[in-house]
Structure 1
C-alpha cells in the first residue's frame, strides 16, 4: 500500500500505509534510528469491495498487493516485529506474506491459532493466506510490561477478543496506537484505559494514533444499556430467542450469558466457530459451562467436554428454556435441510437478534437481505443491532483526558478533520 501520511516527532517517524481517511486496512510503521516496528497489517475494506463480490474473488496476495488492498511485504523487511492489535481481517490481513525474519506479536498467540489458524489454514480460497506461514515465529504480547522493543501492550475492550493497544516508549518520544477499542466494555475483563496508564506510570504521551470509526457517523450504535433492554424484552416477549454473535466477540457471549441466567434460560451454541470461546470460559468462568450446551447437529464436537443437546428434538420444542447462539447463515442452513427432509420446525414467535459489531464496510448487504427473507419464511422476526466494537463519539473526550497526548493522528475513520477539531477542543 502507498504511504498515506507521515509525521515526525523528535526523531521518530510515524508512517501510515493504511487506515488514514478510511475505515479498515490499518498499517502503521514506526521508525527510530535503526529500529523499525509495524503495527497491524490489515485488508482495506474500502478498496476490496470495489473489485470483488459474489463469485469474483481475489486470486491471491500478488493481485491484492497490485490493487493496493493489502500492504506490500517489503514493509515488514528489517522490522523487529509486527504487532497485531486484534484478529479482525482489516487489522490482520494476509500474515503469510510477512517477511520470515519478522516476529509477529498477537494479543494472545493461542487465541490466534484456534481462530484464524483453524478457520483459514485449510481454505481453498485466498483466505488461506491469512494465518502466518510459521507459528513458531509468533509471540503473545506481554500485558502492561515493556518488551525488548520498548513496546507495552495495553489490553482493551473490543468486539474481537483479545484486543490490545500498544505504547512505544521511544528514546525521545512516546507513541500510542489504539487499534480498535471500546471505552465502555460489555463485560469488564481488563482495567480501563486510564487505570492501565496509571499502573504503568505514564501520565501523558507525545503522539496518539487513535481510531475514530464512529466519529461523524450519523447512525448511532446501540449502547450497552440499550442492548441489555432489547435482549431482556426479547426474552420476556418471544418464545424463541436466537442471537448471532461475531465469532471473535467473547464479551458479547459473556454478557448474553448473564442475561440468560437472570431469566432462567440456558445457552445453546449452534455454530462451530464459537467453540473456541468455551475453552476460555472453562478456564476463566468454569461454573458457566454447566448452563451452556452445544448442538448435537453440528458436524464436529467442541474442544472440551460440555453438555450436548438436540436442536430438533429438544430446543425447538421448548424454546422458552433456551437462548440459541449461532452464526445465522449456519443456523439457516440447518433449518433449510430440515425443510427439505420434510421436518417442519415451528419457530413462530421467535426473534433473531443479528449483532453487527463492525461498520458497513464489513457487512455483506446482499447476503443480509437474503438472510432476512429466509428467516421470515421460517416465521422468525429478524432484528439487526449495531453493537459497536468501538467507542461512542462523545467518549473521545474521555480517551483524550486519559492519554493527554500532545499530538493526534486520526486513523480508521472517514472523518479525520473532524477528529482533529474535536481533539483541539478537548485538550484545551
Structure 2
C-alpha cells in the first residue's frame, strides 16, 4: 500500500511539505517556511528566538510536527541535563528526534528529502532537520543554497549544534556557555532525467527530476515510481512563459513524462488568474514605453526584482541594451551571477565582463566608501566572502572592468546613462542618488500574496511619492507561476487518476473543474 500525507502547502501559498510512504519507507518532497503562518505571530522586530532552536516553532505550529526528522539538538537543548526539574520544560519538546526514532526502530523515519527549488517556502525547514538525512536537489539549487548561506546568517549546507563549555576568563570565569559547531549536510545532486533510487541499498522509490521554468533558476518537478509500480508526479512551482530557454524546460517535462499517473500533485498559485504576460512581453512593453518618452534623456530608470531572479535580470538587461544604457545591479545579484555563470543552461556567459553591466556600491558604516566599511558585508566588494589576510582579495574591479563598481554620485551626475536595480530594503539609496523628478520606477516583483506584501508596497509607494517617481507595475510583471489556462492544459496532458492541489488558496477551483480532485486535510494520510 502507498500513502501520501501533506503537512504543508494546503489551502495556502507556500510551506510545502509532502510525505510519501510505501513498505514502511518514506521520502519527503520539500519542507518550507509558511509565510502566512509566521506572519500571524511575528512582525518587524518581533522574531523567532533563534537561540531556542526548533522549540518555539513547534509550540506555535510553524513547522510540521513530524517525528523522526529533526535533530535531537533542535528538540532538546544540550544543557537540559544540567537544569533543575522545575525548569527543564523550557529546554525540551516532546516530539521524537531523528536519533530517538532511529534508535527505537533501527531505521530512519524518512530515507531522503527532495527539494524542488531554492525559495524559502520550499526549503527553509531543512535547517532543523538531522544532517544524516540525504537531501536531493538540482546542481543549481545546491549552488543557490551555498549562495544564500554566504549572503545571510543562515547556513543551509551545514547543521548547527552546541557544546557546553566553561569560561576561563572575562567577567564571569567558571560560568558555562554554548559553543556553536557545525556538521556538513548530505546534499546530493538530482541530475535531470536520471533516476535516484531510495534507499540506495534496497530501493522502494525511484525519483526522477525534470528541470522546469520558474522565477528562480534550478527548479525541478519530480516523478516518483514506487516498487509496486505506482507513479506520483509533483509539479513543484512551474510556469510556461519565461525566456525561450526556460519555458522549453517545462514543455520538455510534460513531453517526457508518461501520462496517467496515479497522483498528480500540482501547484495552483494563480489558478484564478489568466494573465499570460511573458518575460519577452515585459521587455517589449518597457522598451516601447520608454522609447516613446521624449524626455527620457533626463531621467533615471529604476527596476525592482528579487536578487535570485536570473530570469528577470535577463529581461531587464535586454531593455538596457535596447536603450543603450548600463544596467547597475545590486551586489547580491552580482554575487549570484558570478557563482552561476558556469551553468550554460542559464545563458549568462561572460555577462559581468560586459561594459554595460555595473555593480552598485552602497555606503556602509563610516559612509565614506572605505574598504574597511565592508568587512561585515564582503559581497559588496568581492564575489568571495572568505577573506584571508595572507592572500590577495579578488575584488570585482580586479576580476572584471576597473570601473564596474558604481557609487551614488556617479548615478546622480549621469542619470540618463543607467538603469538601476533597486530593491525594497535598499530604498535609502534614493536619498544619496537624488533622482530627477519623473524618473521611472518599474516594479517587476512577485505579486503580494499576503498583508505583509501589501504593507511593503504601501511603504514603497511613500518613497515613490517623496521622490516624484513615475511608478509602473501593471503589465510589467511576468509571474513565476502558471496561470489558470496553463494549469488546465498541464492537467489535461498529464491526465492523472487523482489530482491533489497544493500551493494554492483556491482548491475549490480544482474540485469544480476536475471531478478526480482529492482535497486532503493537513496531516491526514490518503492510502491508494
Do 2:210 and 2:253's aligned partners in 1 also have CA atoms closer than 8 Å? yes
* Distance change (3 Å), C-alpha of 1:42 and 1:16: same
Which residue does 2:390 correspond to in 1?
Answer: none
Within a 5 Å distance, the mapping from 1:231-242 to structure 2 comes to 231-236=286-291, 237=293, 238=296, 239-242=299-302
* Distance change (3 Å), C-alpha of 1:394 and 1:222: same
* Distance change (3 Å), C-alpha of 1:100 and 1:368: same
* Distance change (3 Å), C-alpha of 1:316 and 1:328: farther
Do 1:73 and 1:97's aligned partners in 2 also have CA atoms closer than 8 Å? no
Matched, 1:189 2:246: yes
**Aligned partner of residue 352 in structure 1, secondary structure:** strand
Matched, 1:41 2:31: yes
Which residue does 2:351 correspond to in 1?
Answer: 288
Do 1:244 and 1:327's aligned partners in 2 also have CA atoms closer than 8 Å? yes
Within a 5 Å distance, the mapping from 1:232-381 to structure 2 comes to 232-236=287-291, 237=293, 238=296, 239-281=299-341, 284=344, 285-289=348-352, 290=354, 291-297=356-362, 299=374, 300-303=380-383, 305-307=399-401, 308-330=404-426, 332-336=427-431, 338=432, 345-361=434-450, 363-381=452-470
Distance 2:407 2:290 in 1: 18
- Map Cα deviations across residues 260-300 of structure 1 (whole Å, 9 max, x no partner): 22232221113435521233246533343313111244642
Do 2:243 and 2:280's aligned partners in 1 also have CA atoms closer than 8 Å? no
Matched, 1:406 2:497: yes
Which residue does 2:42 correspond to in 1?
Answer: 52
**Aligned partner of residue 293 in structure 1, secondary structure:** strand
- Map Cα deviations across residues 137-191 of structure 1 (whole Å, 9 max, x no partner): 1122211111122111111111122211111011221101111111222352363
Distance 2:215 2:192 in 1: 19
Do 1:181 and 1:390's aligned partners in 2 also have CA atoms closer than 8 Å? yes
Which residue does 1:15 correspond to in 2?
Answer: 5
Which residue does 1:421 correspond to in 2?
Answer: 512
Distance 2:24 2:276 in 1: 43
Distance 1:43 1:83 in 2: 15
Q: Which of the numbers 64, 71, 79 marks the counterpart of 2:57?
A: 64
Matched, 1:98 2:192: no
Distance 1:194 1:321 in 2: 38
For structure 1, which runs of at least 5 residues remain unmatched after alignment? 1-10, 123-127, 339-343
Q: How many residues align?
A: 401
- Map Cα deviations across residues 357-403 of structure 1 (whole Å, 9 max, x no partner): 25423853333322221232223223335532100111112211332
TM-score by length of 1: 0.85
**Aligned partner of residue 28 in structure 1, secondary structure:** strand
Deviation of residue 194 (structure 1)?
4.1
Which residue does 2:150 correspond to in 1?
Answer: 118
Which residue does 2:17 correspond to in 1?
Answer: 27
Which residue does 2:272 correspond to in 1?
Answer: 216
Distance 1:27 1:193 in 2: 22
Distance 1:33 1:362 in 2: 43
Q: Which of the numbers 267, 271, 282 marks the counterpart of 1:227?
A: 282
Q: Which shifted more, 201-210 or 183-192?
A: 183-192
Q: Which of the numbers 147, 150, 158 marks the counterpart of 2:196?
A: 147
Distance 2:408 2:43 in 1: 34
**Aligned partner of residue 30 in structure 1, secondary structure:** strand
